[in-house]
């Protein structure tokens, strides 16, 4: 059984999917801690409700605005909690340095598009869906992938397509991509990594 640490920034619906799939889809790991870079992230409440330890580490307030220090502190917490596999579940900061070296091929991210479309620096959250609608693609989806030093550039683990419908707004599309793709493939991808490391 591998120890999973989940990093979040917001609502935490992907964290909830992981919590709900523990013991069924997610058999080879269990969530031992949740770390947020925002003190107001609702995902913290979801973790508390599930009895999972939480920690807030903010780049500005706790790390003097220094990204290297932020990475050091997150890495130290992951090690303290004996984390084997890290999951970025709606974590809207780019990781680097020590954390990537320490956890090479053991960090999974969920991205709300079919990579290599609508990804890379600046493409996160609702913005991804705004751009997909603006471009006029007929199919989008989600990608679970390993994290390396290139934003959204690591090895793809799983992808799932979602059709765009007449009248979609970024908000409607975001919800459908979550329901039909993200919440399904993220627990599956985390299971694959837990089983293989
Ligand atoms: C999700 O749609 C996730 O794919 C996206 O942020 C949302 C977080 O929702 N992540 C990215 O855009 C990363 N580049 P959640 O907090 O409810 O899981």
Residue 27 pLDDT exceeds 90: yes
- Does residue 112 have its Cβ closer than 6 Å to ligand 1? yes
The pTM of this model reads 0.97
- Does residue 11 have its Cβ closer than 6 Å to ligand 1? yes
Q: Whose CA is nearest to atom 3 of ligand 1?
A: 90
Residue 152 has a CB neighbour count (10 Å cut-off) of 22
Identify which has the larger pLDDT, 97 or 125: 125
Q: Which atom of ligand 1 is nearest to the CA of 9?
A: 16
Confidence label for 97 from pLDDT (cuts 50, 70 and 90): confident
Q: Report CA(61)–ligand 1 centroid distance (Å).
A: 23
Confidence label for 78 from pLDDT (cuts 50, 70 and 90): very high
Residue 94 pLDDT exceeds 90: no
Mean pLDDT for the stretch of residues 16-25: 98
Which residues is 22 bridged to in the sheet?
A: 26
Residue 73 pLDDT exceeds 90: yes
- Does residue 182 have its Cβ closer than 6 Å to ligand 1? yes
Which segments within the chain are labelled E, that is strand? Answer: 2-8, 29-36, 54-56, 85-88, 107-111, 139-146, 156-163
Give the tokens for residue 56.
């807030």
- Does residue 14 have its Cβ closer than 6 Å to ligand 1? yes
Parallel, antiparallel, or unpaired: how do β-strands 2-8 and 85-88 relate? parallel
Largest Cα span, the chain: 49
pLDDT at 4: 98
Q: Tell me which of 111, 124, 141, 142 is the catalytic residue.
A: 111
Q: Report CA(136)–ligand 1 centroid distance (Å).
A: 21
**Catalytic status, residue 129:** no
Q: Whose CA is nearest to atom 16 of ligand 1?
A: 12
């Amino acid at each position: 059984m591998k120890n999973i640490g989940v990093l979040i920034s917001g609502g935490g619906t992907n964290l909830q999917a992981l919590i709900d799939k523990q013991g069924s889809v997610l058999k080879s790991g269990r969530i031992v801690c949740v770390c947020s870079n925002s003190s107001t992230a609702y995902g913290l409440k979801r973790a508390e409700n599930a009895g999972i330890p939480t920690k807030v580490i903010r780049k500005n307030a706790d790390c003097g605005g220094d990204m290297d220090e932020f990475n050091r502190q997150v890495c130290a917490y992951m090690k303290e909690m004996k984390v084997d596999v890290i999951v970025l579940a709606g974590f809207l900061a780019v990781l680097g340095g020590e954390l990537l070296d320490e956890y090479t091929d053991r960090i999974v991210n969920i991205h709300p598009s079919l990579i290599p479309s609508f990804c890379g620096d600046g493409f996160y959250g609702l913005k991804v869906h705004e751009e997909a609608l603006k471009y006029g693609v007929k199919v989008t989806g989600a990608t679970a992938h390993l994290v390396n030093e290139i934003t959204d550039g690591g090895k793809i683990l799983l992808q799932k397509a979602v059709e765009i419908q007449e009248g979609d707004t970024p908000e409607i599309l975001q919800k459908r991509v979550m329901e039909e793709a993200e919440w399904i493939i993220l627990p599956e991808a985390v299971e694959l990594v837990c089983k293989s490391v």
